[in-house]
Amino acid sequence: MNQIFHADFQIGDELNGQVHLVTGATRGIGEALCWSLARAGATVLMLGRDEQALEALYDAIMAESLPEPVIIPIDLETLTLDAAEELAGMIDEHFGKLNGLIHNAGILGSRTPVSQIKSKEWEQVQRVNVDAVLYLTQGLMPLLETTPHATLILTSSGVGAKARAYWGAYAVSKFAVEGLAQLLAEELENTSTTRVFCVDPGATRTAMRAAAYPGETPEDNPTPEALMPFYLWLLSRESESHRGQRVKARM
């Protein structure tokens, strides 16, 4: 699929008036997505745990006279299915549709041998990286299903496709995300217009990448903004024939 995507892709006005929910909205790829979607004319539902950062992003987007975003202050570590279903009801009441759900949020945890993983940290990583993805998907899927040609994006990693020593809870969580994406793609392939993608962003200039690879020179990696044409392509009808695939982001 990456061979079909072209870096000069332009989204045009296809996303104008659409509604997209982005988790991990205030940093890195999530923040870049919020800006790109808003500039494409979409209403962005910005989900994150840092309410102050969400408010600052809201103010910045409004200062550009872009479509008014929505702040959703939720800590994914404590998210329940009931809360996800309540959120879906609120979105349905106010917008009546959801064109895209982008699971971008995630936490790294410690990079230690399996024998040294602490139970509390294991549970925290799985709750944010796996459980919250499942609950949000379950809660919001009925709304995606009633929105023609909606897109569901899950975020993986290189260590979600091939295990790497000392990546512990994070690697296991991304293996789980890959499995969930495959299950969803299989289940929806012949019954729904909702498309499922599992995205490996690759090395990107983010705070998480810097924490994982402290010896790297950040400038050697592309910025989140450089990946946005690829993400917008996934959210557009241009990528429709490639549903259900694991893809690595390309500039």
Catalytically active residues, by annotation? 170
Contact between 103 and 81 under an 8 Å Cβ cutoff? The reply is no
Distance CA 62, CA 15 (A): 18
Quick one: which of 190, 179, 234, 225 has its CA closest to 205?
225
Distance CA 82, CA 109 (A): 26
For residue 21, the cross-strand partners are 45, 101
Distance of CA 246 to the CA centre of its chain: 14
Distance CA 195, CA 153 (A): 8
